[in-house]
């Protein structure tokens, strides 16, 4: 038996820890479950809103043995139930409330009083579960494939299942007139709602898809597209916060599904936004060159999406030094080639981010090569 325990993978340990706390939660009386869920909402809000201070309250009693559902509960000492988290010093130093909460829960979990230790562990578990399952919308069942040999799948699989037209919530659909219901014998079910455009329906949450597979804008403005990217970043941020609080949440099937679905969508759409903005830069350069408005130098900030940090960044470089130098398209080609050589050797970027940025630099090069 000891040999078997040593050979088990970290994933199996996390799964066992997750299952243990889930069984402990399910062993609690309904009133304790509701209390823990209420406290979970308070702690989750404090973490995600980066509050400087919050209050943690332990239940008055908990079941210690997960196999004893409905059995006798052990009381939590009244003087230990109320825990203030964060204070003046933390506000001054701008300490991360999430770190402070994790540290306080860890301290309580080491308590010699079993009821206190279990209560703290249950609060940690319930808060992480609430973050993943209660704060984030569920999406579609999706399948992504990697772009060439990339590690993270970001492209909708060819022939991926698209939902058929259906009468559904307006938040998940666009109204479309059904030709078949124009006939005299139509059954009068009313307006047919179709979930977004076909390409968007291949992603986890179509409501946040701002670009199609050819980087064409599907929303009203670039600002709206950037808002969609920000919404997806917040979604991933909540998942990261849940795992920071309880690392075993990676074993939760809902967490895995939401992370897979949103991570692929965020990277896909982030790159599409960067390519769209790159084409806008090319258009503006050509427009200003035609107006002889680029004869005093040119520097560029080329946008790209970093798939490690999951944020938009810019690659800054000089095309033409400041001064009275006539603009020639060959200057852009030369600068693009020089930057491609630098980026190809930049180990600070992940291989997939380098590939993405190099493709944008080639777009720039090709746009002025003719």
Q: How many domains does the chain have?
A: 3
Q: Structural domain of residue 237, as residue ranges?
A: 144-264
Q: Is the same domain home to 39 and 88?
A: yes
Whether 1 maps to a domain, the answer reads no
Cα–Cα dist 168/188, whole Å: 16
- Its pTM stands at 0.86
Listing DSSP states for 198-230 in one string gives TTGGGSS-GGG--B-TT--B-SS-HHHHHHHHH
| Each residue's pLDDT tens digit, 17-49 | 999 999 999 999 999 999 999 999 999 999 999
- The last residue of a domain, from among 231, 264, 297: 264
Q: Is the same domain home to 229 and 288?
A: no
| Each residue's pLDDT tens digit, 212-265 | 999 999 999 999 999 999 999 999 999 999 999 999 999 999 999 999 999 999
- The last residue of a domain, from among 106, 134, 162: 134
Contact yes or no for 273/226 (Cβ under 8 A): yes
Q: Once rounded to an integer, what is the mean pLDDT over residues 103-124?
A: 95
Whether 354 maps to a domain, the answer reads yes
Cα–Cα dist 51/43, whole Å: 10
Q: How far is CA 78 from CA 83, 110, 239, in A?
A: 11, 18, 33
90 pLDDT higher than 60? no
Cα torsion through 290, 291, 294, 300, rounded to 10: -70
Which residues 6+ apart lie within 8 Å of 147 measured at CB?
A: 154, 155, 352, 355
Q: Is the same domain home to 249 and 282?
A: no
Whether 4 maps to a domain, the answer reads no
Q: Is the same domain home to 174 and 250?
A: yes
pLDDT on residue 11: 85
């Amino acid at each position: 038996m000891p040999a078997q325990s040593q050979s088990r993978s970290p994933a199996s340990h996390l799964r066992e820890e997750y299952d243990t706390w889930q069984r402990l939660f399910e062993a609690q009386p309904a009133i304790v479950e509701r209390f823990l869920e209420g406290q979970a909402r308070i702690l989750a809000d404090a973490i995600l809103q980066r509050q400087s201070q919050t209050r943690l309250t332990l239940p008055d009693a908990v079941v210690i043995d997960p196999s004893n559902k409905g059995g006798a509960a052990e009381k939590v000492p009244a003087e230990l139930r109320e825990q203030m988290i964060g204070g003046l010093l933390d506000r001054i130093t701008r300490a991360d409330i999430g770190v402070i909460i994790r540290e306080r829960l860890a301290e309580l979990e080491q308590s010699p009083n079993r009821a206190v230790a279990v209560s703290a562990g249950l609060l940690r578990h319930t808060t992480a579960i609430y973050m993943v399952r209660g704060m984030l919308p569920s999406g579609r069942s999706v399948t992504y494939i990697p772009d060439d040999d990339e590690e993270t799948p970001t492209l909708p699989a060819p022939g991926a299942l698209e939902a058929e037209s259906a009468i559904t919530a307006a938040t998940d659909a666009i109204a479309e007139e059904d030709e078949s219901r124009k006939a005299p014998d139509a059954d009068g079910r009313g307006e047919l709602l179709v979930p977004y455009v076909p390409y968007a329906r291949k992603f986890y949450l179509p409501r946040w898809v701002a670009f199609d597979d050819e980087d064409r804008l599907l929303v009203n403005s670039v600002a709206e597209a950037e808002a969609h990217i920000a919404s997806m970043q917040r979604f991933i941020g909540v998942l990261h916060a849940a795992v920071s609080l309880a690392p075993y949440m990676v074993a939760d099937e809902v967490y895995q599904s939401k992370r897979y679905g949103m991570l692929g969508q965020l990277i896909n759409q982030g790159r599409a936004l960067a390519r769209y903005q790159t084409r806008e830069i090319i258009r503006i350069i050509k427009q200003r060159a035609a107006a002889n408005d680029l004869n005093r130098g040119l520097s560029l900030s080329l946008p790209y999406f970093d798939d490690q940090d999951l944020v938009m960044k810019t690659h800054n470089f000089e095309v033409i030094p400041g001064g009275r130098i006539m603009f020639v398209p060959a200057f852009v080609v030369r600068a693009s080639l020089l930057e491609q050589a630098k980026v190809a050797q930049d180990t600070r970027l992940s291989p997939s981010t380098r590939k993405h940025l190099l493709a944008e630099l080639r777009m720039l090069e090709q746009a002025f090569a003719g």
